[in-house]
Chains A and B, each alone.
Chain A
Amino acid sequence: MSDNATFRRRGRWLTGGSVLLLCAWVLGPIYLLFLNSFSSPSAVTGFPKHWLPSFNLDSLQFFIEFQGVASALWNSIQVATLTMVLSIVLGAPAGYALSRFEFRGKSLFRIMVLMTRAFPLPLLALPLAVMYIRVGLDDTPLGLALVHTTLALPFAVLITFSLFSGIPVELEEAAWTMGCTRAQAFRKVVLPLVMPGITASAIFAFVISWNEVFAASVLTVQHRTLTAFLLTSLDVSPLPLKFAGGFVLVLPALIFIFLVRKYLFAMWGIANR
C-alpha cells in the first residue's frame, strides 16, 4: 500500500523532472537568444550578465542593415513561398486520395511517403547540383524550392490525409445527392472545412523551407537564402550579430509552429479536441 504510494510519488517526480528538463532544453537557448538580441553589443560580450535584456536594438538594427541580409531574406521568402505552394498543390490531392479512395499499394504508398524523409540529402546534393547546372536551375529560387518541396511534401501529404479523413464522407455524399458534382461538393463542403488545416499545413511547409540550410548552401551561390547566408557570413561575424541573426531566423518559425501546433498533433494521430 505505502510502497505503491511511494512508487507513484516517485513516478510523478520523474515525470515532472523530465518535463522540466525538456522545457529547459528547448526554452533555454531561445531565452538566451532573446536576451542577447535585445541587449547592447557591449552587454553581450560583457560580464556580469543580466536576466532581463536592456531592449537595445543596436544589434538587430546592425544585422538588418548588414550587407546582403535584405536580399537573403527576400530569397528565403521567395523559396519558402514557392515551397509552400508546391507542397499544397501536390500534397493535398495526394492526401485526399489517400483518405477517400481504395487503391492497390495504398499502405505501401503511405510508407514510401515517409521513407523519402529517410533518404539522406547529402547523398543527393552533388548529383542534384550537377543536374541543376545542366538544366539551368542552379542558384534559382525555383530550383531550391523544388528540393525543399520534396522535404515538405511528406508532411503535407500526411497532414492533409488526416484532415480529409476527419471529414465524414457522408458530408460529400449528401452534397452529391443534393445536386453537386464531385468537384462542386469538394469546393462547397470539403474545402471550407479543411481550409484552416490546409493553411496550417502550408505554414508548416513554409517553415521547413525557411529552416533548411544544407540544400540551400549547396545549391545557391549568389542567391543565398537567409540560413545559407548566415551560415557562411556569421561564422566570421561578431557575437552580437550572431545572436541577432539567430533570433531573426528562429522567430518566424517559432510563431508559425505555435499557430499550427494543433494540426501537427493531428498528423501523428494525437487528436487535440
Chain B
Amino acid sequence: MAEIVIKGVAKTFGAFTALHSVDLTVADREFVVLLGASGCGKTTLLRIIAGLESASGGEVWIGGRRVDHLPPRQRGIAMVFQNYAVFPHLTVFENIAFGLRMQNLPMAEITRRVERTAELMHIEQLLKRYSGQLSGGQRQRVAVARALAMEPSVILMDEPLSNLDALLRLEMRAELKGILAESQTTTIYVTHDQVEAMSLADRIAVMQGGHILQAAEPIEVYRNPAARFVGAFIGNPPMNFLPANRGAGGWEVAGLPVLGPESGEALEFAVRPEDLRPAAKGLPAHVKIVEPLGPHLLVTCDVAGHGFRAILESDTSVRTGDLLHLAPLEGRARWFDLATGHSVPV
C-alpha cells in the first residue's frame, strides 16, 4: 500500500522558481505520468519525491508516512534513471543484487530475486556481463530489473525510454506497461513524449512552468484539456485555435456563427484536427498543403489568416488551392479564456 501525496511542494533555485506549490495525489498501484516540455519542473518534482532534491516548501507523503526529511534510502522507492546509471564496475547480476545486498537479504533470496527479475526483463543470459558490454536497450532492461528486484512500493522513472531508438522505445513501452501493471507498484513516470504518456498512464499530469495544469485520465486530458497549453501540447498535430468575436447573435469564428459559452471575457475557439468534417456550412479554409498519410489526409489550410489543420478521410477529394468549409463535430469544439488560458465550459 503506497499512496503518494504531494502537498504544496515548491522549489526555487536562486531567483528561478522551478515548482510553484504543486499538489498531487497518486493512488496506490496507480501509474501516473508527469508530462511536459523540458524545464517544466517534472524531473524536479520526481527528484523531490525520490529525495534526491530537497523541496523549498511543502510535504511529501508515501504510504501514509511523511518522507520529505528522509534520505532516499528510507523512502521505500526505486528509481530508473534516464541514462540508466548501471554501475560499470559490477556485473549485471551484481547490479541487480546491489539493492538487495544493502537490505542484507540471505544469498538464496538474492539469487532467486535476481534470476526472477532478469527472466522478466529477458536479460537472464547477460547476468555475467558488464555494462560496457551491453547495448543501450540492454542497459535499460538492467536498470528496470534492478528497480523491480527491490520490490519497492513506489517506482520512479525519469524519462527511461528517451535514450533508446524509436523502434526499441515502442517495444519497451508495451513491455514496461505489462510488467509494471503486474508488479502492482505505484509508479510515477516522467516524460516529454505525449504518445508515451497516453499509452502508459492511468493518469497524466500535464506540467508547465512549475504548475500542474491538469491531472486526469489520458482520454480526458485529450478530449477536455483544462488549459490552452494542454490542448496545444497534446495531440499530433495539436489542437487548432482561432480567435472568437462577439457577433450580433452570439460568437463568431472566422465569420461563422458558432454556439459558444455565456461569457463576458475574450475567448478563443479550439478544435482538434480530427474533429473536423467538410460541410455545407463551416469555417472557410483555404487549402495550402495536402499530405496523404495512408489512413487519412492531413490538410494544412488557412482560416482567416490563421494556420489550421484538419485530418480528413483518405478518400476526400481535396487539392491545394481549394476552398473547404470545415465544421466541427457535435460537442467537440472547446473554448479557452484568452487572458488566463483556462478552459471555459459551454
A168 and B83 contacting across the interface, CB-CB below 8 Å:
yes
In the complex, which residues of chain A have a beta carbon less than 8 angstroms from the beta carbon of B99?
Answer: 178-179
Name the distance in Å between B38's Cβ and chain A's nearest Cβ. 17
Residues in chain B within 8 A of chain A (CB atoms) = 50-52, 71-73, 77-79, 81-83, 85, 87-89, 98-99, 102-103, 146, 150, 156
Determine the residue in chain B with the shortest Cβ distance to A188.
B98
Report A-chain residues with C-beta under 8 Å of the C-beta of B146: 174, 178
A109 to chain B, nearest CB (A): 19
Report if A193 contacts B (CB, 8 A): yes
Q: Which residues of A contact B (CB under 8 A)?
A: 168, 170-171, 173-181, 184, 188-189, 192-193
Contact (A170, B81) CB under 8 Å given A176-B71, A178-B150, A179-B73: yes
Q: Closest B residue to A185 by CB, please name it.
A: B73
Closest-CB distance, A193 to chain B (whole angstroms): 6
Residue of B nearest to A167 (CB): B88
Partner of B85, one of A168, A180, A188, A193: A168
Distance (whole angstroms) from the CB of B155 to the closest CB of chain A: 10
- State A263–B88 Cα separation when bound (angstroms): 19
Contacts of A189 in B (CB 8 A): 87, 89
The answer on a CB contact under 8 Å between A178 and B102 is: yes
Residues of A within 8 A of B51 (CB): 176-177
Docked-complex contact B79 and A174, CB < 8 angstroms: yes
A-chain residues with CB within 8 Å of residue B79 when the two chains form the complex: 173-174, 177
A174 near B81 (CB under 8 angstroms)?
Answer: yes
Contact B83 A170 (CB under 8 A): yes
CB pair A193–B78 under 8 Å, yes or no, is: no
CB contacts (< 8 Å) of B73 on chain A: these are 176-181
Rounded to whole angstroms, the CA-CA distance of A168 and B87 in the bound complex is 10
In chain A, what residue has the closest Cβ to B74?
A179
Q: Which residues of B contact A174 (CB under 8 A)?
A: 79, 81, 85, 87, 146
Whole-angstrom distance between the alpha carbons of A53 and B13 in the complex? Answer: 67
Looking at the complex, which one of A177, A180, A184, A193 makes contact with B88 (CB distance below 8 Å)?
A193
